[in-house]
C-alpha cells in the first residue's frame, strides 16, 4: 500500500497528469459488435447484420465471434446474421471463434448450423484453428458436433492433430486423442 502512495506522489511531483479518454469516440456498428455494445435499435435494419467491413470483409458476426461476444453473436443470429458467411480468405465466424478459444460462441454457431469443415484459403478448418491455439473446449465442441472431419488436412498436408503436436498444444492434442480413441473403440 505504501508503495502505491509513494508512486502516486512521485508521479505528481514529476508533473505527470492522469490521462483522460475522450468519451466522444464513435464506434462503427462492426466495432460495437466486437465490443459487445449493440442495442436492439442498432439491429432494426436487417441488412446491417450481414454487411461486410471494408478491410477483411468481416461481418458484424465475424467481429462478435472474434472477440468472444456470445450475447452479441446470439442477437445477430436472431436478427438474421448468416453463421456461414465467408470473409476474405474464406474465414467464417466459426474459424474466428475457434481461433480465440471462445467455446461458448463455437457451440452457439454449431447449434445454428455453422459448417464445421469449412476451409479457409490455406485449407484450415475451425478444428485446425482450435487445435493450433490449444483450446481444448473449442476443440471438443467442434468434435462433438458429429460432423467434424478429424482427418482433414490443410494446404501443408497437416491435420489438426498434427498441428497440436507440432505446437505443443497438449490439451487440444489430448482432446483429439480421446475423440479418436472413442471412435475406434
pTM, rounded to two decimals: 0.84
Rounded Cα–Cα distance for residues 152 and 140 (Å): 16
Residue 115 has pLDDT above 90, yes or no: yes
Quick one: CATH architecture of 22-184? Alpha Horseshoe (1.25)
Pick from 16, 133, 116, 32: nearest CA to 76: 32
pLDDT digits (tens, 9 = 90+) for 122-175: 999 999 999 999 999 999 999 999 999 999 999 999 999 999 999 999 999 999
Q: Kindly report which listed range (23-27, 28-32, 107-111, 119-123) carries the lowest average pLDDT score.
A: 23-27
pLDDT value at residue 1: 46
Contact indicator for 132, 165 with CB cutoff of 8 Å? no
Residue 183 has pLDDT above 80, yes or no: yes
Pick from 75, 88, 84: nearest CA to 48: 75
User: Which pLDDT band, with edges at 50, 70 and 90, does 12 fall under?
Assistant: low
Contact indicator for 177, 165 with CB cutoff of 8 Å? no
Sign of the torsion formed by the C-alpha atoms of 181, 169, 116 and 154: negative
Cell 505527470 found at: 16
Sign of the torsion formed by the C-alpha atoms of 34, 107, 139 and 153: negative
Residue that wins the pLDDT comparison between 1 and 117? 117
pLDDT digits (tens, 9 = 90+) for 63-79: 999 999 999 999 999 99
Averaged pLDDT, 92-119: 99
pLDDT digits (tens, 9 = 90+) for 75-102: 999 999 999 999 999 999 999 999 999 9
Residue that wins the pLDDT comparison between 13 and 118? 118
Amino acid at each position: 500500500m505504501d508503495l502505491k502512495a509513494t508512486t502516486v506522489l512521485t508521479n505528481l511531483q514529476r508533473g505527470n497528469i492522469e490521462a483522460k479518454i475522450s468519451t466522444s469516440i464513435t464506434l462503427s456498428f462492426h466495432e460495437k459488435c466486437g465490443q459487445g455494445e449493440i442495442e436492439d435499435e442498432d439491429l432494426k435494419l436487417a441488412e446491417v447484420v450481414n454487411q461486410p467491413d471494408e478491410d477483411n470483409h468481416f461481418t458484424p458476426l465475424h467481429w462478435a465471434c472474434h472477440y468472444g461476444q456470445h450475447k452479441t453473436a446470439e442477437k445477430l443470429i436472431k436478427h438474421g446474421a448468416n453463421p456461414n458467411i465467408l470473409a476474405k480468405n474464406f474465414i467464417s465466424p466459426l474459424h474466428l471463434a475457434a481461433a480465440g478459444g471462445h467455446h461458448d460462441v463455437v457451440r452457439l454457431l454449431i447449434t445454428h448450423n455453422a459448417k464445421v469443415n469449412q476451409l479457409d484459403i490455406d485449407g484450415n478448418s475451425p478444428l485446425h484453428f482450435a487445435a493450433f491455439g490449444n483450446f481444448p473446449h473449442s476443440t471438443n465442441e467442434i468434435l462433438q458436433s458429429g460432423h467434424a472431419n478429424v482427418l482433414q488436412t490443410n494446404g501443408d498436408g497437416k491435420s489438426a492433430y498434427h498441428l497440436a503436436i507440432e505446437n505443443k498444444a497438449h490439451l487440444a492434442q489430448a482432446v483429439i486423442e480421446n475423440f479418436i480413441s472413442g471412435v475406434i473403440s
